[in-house]
Amino acid sequence: MRQCMLGLLVAAVTGAACIAADRPSGSPVEVKAKLVRTIEVPASPGLRPDGRGFSNWLRDIAVDGKGRLYVADGGAPSKVFVFRRDGTVLGSVAPTGTSRRKTWLKSVSATGSKAAVQVYDEDADRIELFELDGTRRVRRITSFAAATYGTLGQLAVQERPSRIYAVRGPAQAVPFPLPQDPQPLVQLDQRTGALLKRWEGPSWGSVAIGAMDNVFVLHARQRGPQVIRRYSASARLLDEFEVPQPPGSLCQWAPGDPWVGTDLAVNQSLVAIAENGGTPSGRGCVTLVVLCDHSGHYRGVISRAVLGKSVESRHSTYAMFDAVEFDRDSNLYVLDRSGLRVFVFVLTSGTTDEGG
């Protein structure tokens, strides 16, 4: 779903993998990620806008309560691929019911047995929200002028009560430099599409729903650590913290290095943040999924190193982590937009060195 900063990230990634440093004695053992499945997204013929030999433009992922994986493809034509829990393809669906080439699929979010999909109709300059049940298009939730709430990018769906949260975010190509003007975070009724609440959100970011209906919002910064704000469902600010830096020299954000947080996901105890960055000289890029607890304390990192020989795919010589999602069993799904893949990780953690 998200495109790296154009001109800053390059295909050559020698030395880009992050290796975490040893933890001090007595500190909690970091969360470890084990790759258990790689799901290949079917390639569409044609050329992508960046000249690659396929027209897919993967933007977002979601997992519903039945374990079905939704992959939003904003290519031409836009469609949503749907996969079973084991990774086999169920099929694809055009949310609008048509395959108009100027209709761009922007993001997807799921809960319970259904998914909500956001589509931008370029001809009409309108945002449309649709409801899917697997490969079945259930209904159009709402439609409104694109300027109504700013350029929305990211969705998060809450099951009870039935709400949709939307914020401007990188479900489209990430611009650089990032916009600095704050955009609204909106809460919509999923059944009717009516506006329920509206408050100031990030200039660019992502949104996820946590326990107790807390709303986690990633505020993407152009440089340095990203910021996460946690709100109550009534829009009261509960907490704010910076995404922690992983240990190890290969993961440090040097002054002037551009970074963008492209997505976040939340389960009962962890926040997963997909981040992409590079050096101003363009010598390489780093792609990470940083793990922290709900207060911002560092718990671990996933880098290309965990992929081993799987870092290369049929479509790319490197992997770029652009979207993250937890399923109901807290397995972590990570979208590799460049390689047309979704990685599935099992996360495990231990006790402290002192047996705590």
Question: Higher pLDDT residue, 214 or 316?
Answer: 214
Is residue 308 very low, low, confident or very high in pLDDT (cuts 50, 70, 90)? Answer: confident
Assess if CATH 2.120.10.30 describes domain 32-348. Answer: yes
Read off the pLDDT of each residue in 289-309 and give the average, rounded to a whole number. 88
Question: Residue 157 and residue 115: Cα distance in Å, rounded?
Answer: 8
Question: Quick check: 42 and 89 in contact, CB under 8 A?
Answer: yes
Is residue 3 very low, low, confident or very high in pLDDT (cuts 50, 70, 90)? Answer: very low
Question: Residue 325 and residue 79: Cα distance in Å, rounded?
Answer: 19
- For residue 163, pLDDT over 70 is answered with yes
Q: Which of 155, 200, 158 is nearest to 181 (CA)?
A: 200
Residue count of the chain: 356
What's residue 146's pLDDT? Answer: 73
Question: Quick check: 245 and 261 in contact, CB under 8 A?
Answer: no
Read off the pLDDT of each residue in 149-154 and give the average, rounded to a whole number. 64
- For residue 43, pLDDT over 70 is answered with yes
Read off the pLDDT of each residue in 265-270 and give the average, rounded to a whole number. 93
Is residue 59 very low, low, confident or very high in pLDDT (cuts 50, 70, 90)? Answer: confident
- For residue 350, pLDDT over 70 is answered with no
Q: Where are the domains of the chain?
A: 32-348
Q: Which residues have CB under 8 Å from 283's CB, separation 6+?
A: 10
Q: Which position has the token pair 């401007």?
A: 168
Question: Residue 286 and residue 296: Cα distance in Å, rounded?
Answer: 21
Read off the pLDDT of each residue in 146-174 and give the average, rounded to a whole number. 70
What's residue 140's pLDDT? Answer: 87
What's residue 172's pLDDT? Answer: 45
3-state secondary structure the chain: CCECCCCCCCCCCCCCCCCCCCCCCCCCCCCEEEEEEEEECCCCCCCCCCCCCCCCCEEEEEECCCCCEEEEECCCCCEEEEECCCCCEEEEECCCCCCCCCEEEEEEEEECCEEEEEEEECCCCEEEEEEEECCEEEEEEEEEECCCCCCCCEEEEECCCCEEEEECCCCCECCCCCCCCCCEEEEEECCCCCEEEEEECCCCEEEEECHHHCEEEEECCCECCCEEEEECCCCCEEEEEECCCCCCHHHCCCCCCEEEEEEEEECCCEEEEEEEEECCCCCCEEEEEEEEECCCCEEEEECHHHHHHHHCCCCCCCCCEEEEEECCCCCEEEEECCCCEEEEEEEECCCCCCCC
- 103-111 vs 89-93, strand pairing mode: unpaired
Is residue 2 very low, low, confident or very high in pLDDT (cuts 50, 70, 90)? Answer: very low
Question: Residue 342 and residue 323: Cα distance in Å, rounded?
Answer: 9
Question: Quick check: 80 and 64 in contact, CB under 8 A?
Answer: no
Q: Which of 143, 46, 160, 54 is nearest to 95 (CA)?
A: 143
- For residue 121, pLDDT over 90 is answered with no
- For residue 297, pLDDT over 80 is answered with yes
- For residue 49, pLDDT over 60 is answered with no
pTM of the entire predicted model = 0.83
Per-residue pLDDT tens digits for 136-150: 988 988 888 777 765
Could you count the other beta carbons within 10 Å of the beta carbon of residue 251?
20
Could you count the other beta carbons within 10 Å of the beta carbon of residue 50?
10
CB-facing half-sphere around the CA of 184: CA atoms within 13 A: 13
- 227-231 vs 237-242, strand pairing mode: antiparallel
